[in-house]
Amino acid sequence: MKFWQKLVAVFIGVCMLAVQLPVSAGESDAPDITAEAAIIIETSTGRVIWEKNADERLYPASMTKMMTGILALEQLNMRSEIMMSREAAYTESSSLGVLAGERIRTDELLNGMLLESDNGAAVALGEAMAGSVTAFAGVMNGKAAELDMKDTHFVNPNGLTEKGHYSTARDMAKLARYAMENKAFREIVCQPQRTIHWTSPHTKIFHAHNTNKLLEKYEGMTGIKTGWTQAAGGCLAVGAKRDGVELIVVLMKTPTPDDRFSDAKKLLDYGFEHVRMVKGISQEKGYRKVWVTNGQQASTKLYPARDINYPLINGEDKSKYSIRYEVPKIVEAPLKAGTPVGKIVVSYNGKDVEHVDMLADDVSSGFSIGSWLVKMFSWAIRLV
C-alpha cells in the first residue's frame, strides 16, 4: 500500500511541476508555426511562456535595428542634424532616399529607420554615435553584454547578412523588452505611418509606412520590428497588450515574409490564453519610510514607480511570488519628487524576475531637529 501511495505522490508532484513550467515546442497544445526559432515572454518580468529553439544562433536581419534605435535614443540629441555620408546613402535597401551630403534631423532619420526599415539610416545613425560602422558594432556588442545577450554578436547596425552577425530568439526578446521600456521608442514603433521631412539643402518628404503588417489589425498590437533577408528568412519581434497582460513574441527564419505575421498571431493568441495577471502591490501600499539628513523633515516615504502585478503562467500559484525592498535607511536632502532611490525586487519561486524603482517624495534641504538627530545617530540607524 505504501508503495502505491508513494507512486501516486510522485505522479501528482510531476503533474504540478509540469503546470508551473513554461511550455516548449513539441507539446500537445503548442502552436503550429513555420519559424525555425521562436519565443513568447511576459513583458513586465521577462518570464518565458513558450519557446522553440530559442537559443539557436541565426541571422536577425533588421531586428538588429532595435539595438541601433535604442542606442540612438540614449546617446544622440534628437533635434540635432546628421549629414548623410556616401556609405550611408548608397547602402542597399535605403528607401528613404536621403542623398549623400544632405542633412536630416536625427529624430526624422530614426523614425524612418524603425518604420521603413531603411538600412542607410541605420548606418548614418551608427556613424553619428561612433564615427564608423566598425566602431559602432563595438558599442552595440557592449550594450548586448550589458543586457545579458549571451549568444549575440553584431557586425553592422542594420542586419544585412554578414559573417559573424548573429543572435537568438531569446536574446532578441531581451533587447525588445529593454527597448520597449523606453517611452520614445515605444511611441515610434507603434506608428502605422509617418511623413519624414528633411530641409537641407532642399525641402523633401517621404511617406514612411511601418513594415509591421499586424499594426491596426491585431488587437492590442504595440510594435515592434520586422526583418527579412534571403539568408535570415522572415524575422519578427512584436508586442501586444490585452487586459493588463503584455507579451513580446520573437520569431526567426520563416520560409516567407508573410509567414512571420501568421506565426506571430498564433504565438500571441497562445500567450494570451496561457497568462493571466493578478494584483500584487499597489503604489499606495508599497511605500517604505526612510530617514532624512540635512532636510526640513526627519523622514520621508518612497513609493513604487507603479503598481506591481503578477503574471501567472499555465495556472501558477500567486503565493510563489515574493518581493524584497532594496532601499537605503537614510537619504540626504534635497530630493526631487520622482527621483529613483532604491528598488523593489520581485521574485518567483526564489528567482528574481523584475525590478521596480522606488521613487522619492519632494524633500527640501534645510534644518530640523529631527533631521539633525538622524545625522548625529546615522551610524546607529544603519545598524538596525
From 44, 52, 65, 143, the catalytic residue: 65
Neighbouring CB atoms inside 10 A of 176's CB total 25
**Angle subtended by helix axes 133-146 and 65-75, to nearest 10:** 90
Active site residue 279: no
Please tell me whether 225 is known to bind a ligand.
yes
Q: Which one from 94, 117, 167, 371 is the annotated catalytic residue?
A: 117
With 0-12 / 13-18 / 19 or more C-beta atoms within 10 angstroms meaning exposed / middle / buried, residue 125 is: buried
How many angstroms separate the CA atoms of 56 and 115, rounded?
27
| Interatomic CA distance for residues 222 and 261, integer angstroms | 14
Active-site residue, selected from the candidate residues 44, 62, 167, 371: 62
Q: In angstroms, rounded to a whole number, what is the distance separating the alpha carbons of residues 96 and 83?
A: 14
Q: Residue 216 is placed in which grid cell?
A: 491596426
> CA 36, 40, 42 angle in degrees (round to 5)?
165
Contacts of 300 (CB under 8 A, 6+ apart): 289, 290, 292, 331, 335, 360, 361, 363
Q: Are 158 and 64 in contact (CB under 8 A)?
A: yes
* Active-site annotation holds for 117: yes
CA 235 – CA 224 distance, rounded (Å): 11
What type of residue is 68?
T
Binding-site residue positions for substrate: 225
Active site residues: 62, 65, 117
Binding-site residue positions: 225
